[in-house]
Amino acid sequence: MFSFNLPMFLAIEENITNDLISKLDKEFKDIANKKIIILTSKGIYEKFKKGIDSLIKEYRKISIYFVEDSSYDIAVNVAKKISIEEFEIVIGFGGGKVLDTAKYASYVSKKKYVSIPTTLSNDGVASPIAVLKTFEGKAKSFGCNSPDGIIIDTNIIKNAPNILLMAGIGDTVSNYTALFDWKLESKHKGIHPNDFAYLLSDTALNMLLYSREEHIRNGNFIKQLAQSLVLSGLAMDIAGNSRPCSGSEHLFSHSLDEHYNINKPHGLKVALGSIASCIFQGRSYEPIVTFLKRYDVDVSPEKLGISKEIFIDTWMKAQATRPDRFSVLNTIELSKDYLEKIYEEIMEVLK
């Protein structure tokens, strides 16, 4: 028997944060008398200073705390503060670093958590996983709970940098190869993948793949991207692990993070991984390449600063990053020559 903890509420609307307190009051009751901590970064605070300041002025029980990095130590320290000062609700307002810290800190301190992203760069918006730095700055995924509430203001997201929205698209594309690998693993272990988790992840992918919206900044497209990333997060919650959205393409990204310092968004690295994984899986990468090109999402190794040598070495070490994970990498023999050919092919295709 397994259990999951789906969010209590979800709102994806234009300007919904203008009316944040009344939205929260509907969900938590008597919000004005609850001690709330807003975790954000200084950069985000400067951008939304007027709104945040007037909120703090009007509701004396709201405090603000700045999170500038997302390490395990910082998250646990924030949890300590939340417990000692008896905050009842944690709000994460920002990008991935802020949200992952807030998610884990609220999980450790066992408090309600509301996620308000300012960008949509990966499926962490709704997932029960927090990515935090550990020793020597190495990132690790920690299981926790999905947020209790998710509020996505499409007007705020519209102002996010293009590259982060493109990364969000890339993380959704990775479901294409992740689902294939999940099926392979299930077959290998003689178990059946959770049908509903599979359905949600597949729907998240198809929503974007077959979207009619042409522009990344179109309000409808942003809404679809938000819905898609939330569905991916819920898929992981129902599955009880990240398999519906994380296969060999994520192992490539983990390996890159472990061995090389490629400072590019996660979603772009996994999308490049997905194109190679399609080849390993014996499938056509055409649908995802066409899709990425439609929104000008460039994941060419050149653009990401990944040389041929790094590409080959990263794939050679990918399986070792999560030895317990079965994927297409367990079924093929990777050689330098083979990976070199794949690298050349991808460079050509993404020209």
Q: Which is nearer to Zn ion, 171 or 237 (CB)?
A: 171
- Between CA 19 and CA 255 the distance in angstroms is 42
Q: Which is nearer to Zn ion, 153 or 171 (CB)?
A: 171
Q: Which is nearer to Zn ion, 12 or 271 (CB)?
A: 271
Comparing every residue's Cβ against Zn ion, the nearest one is 171
Pick the piece of the chain touching Zn ion (CB under 5 A) from 12-20, 39-47, 168-176, 191-199: 168-176
Min CB(124)–Zn ion separation in Å: 8
Q: Are 148 and 114 in contact (CB under 8 A)?
A: yes
Min CB(242)–Zn ion separation in Å: 8
Contacts of 9 (CB under 8 A, 6+ apart): 27, 148, 149, 150
Here the tokens at position 74 are 């910082």
Q: Which is nearer to Zn ion, 271 or 279 (CB)?
A: 271
Decide: is 237 part of the binding site for Zn ion (CB under 5 A): no
Min CB(212)–Zn ion separation in Å: 25
Half-sphere exposure of 336 (CA within 13 A, CB side): 3
- What residues are paired with 274 via a beta bridge? none
Residue of 171, 181, 237, 249 interacting with Zn ion (CB under 5 A): 171
Min CB(268)–Zn ion separation in Å: 11
Residue 137 region by backbone torsions, left for phi larger than 0, else alpha for psi between -120 and 50, else beta? left
Order of strands, sheet of 9-13, starting from the edge strand that comes earlier in the sequence: 9-13, 149-153, 112-117, 89-94, 36-40, 62-66
If binding means CB under 5 A, how many residues of this protein chain bind Zn ion?
1
Pick the piece of the chain touching Zn ion (CB under 5 A) from 19-27, 166-174, 232-240, 293-301: 166-174
Question: Interface with Zn ion by CB under 5 A: which residues?
Answer: 171
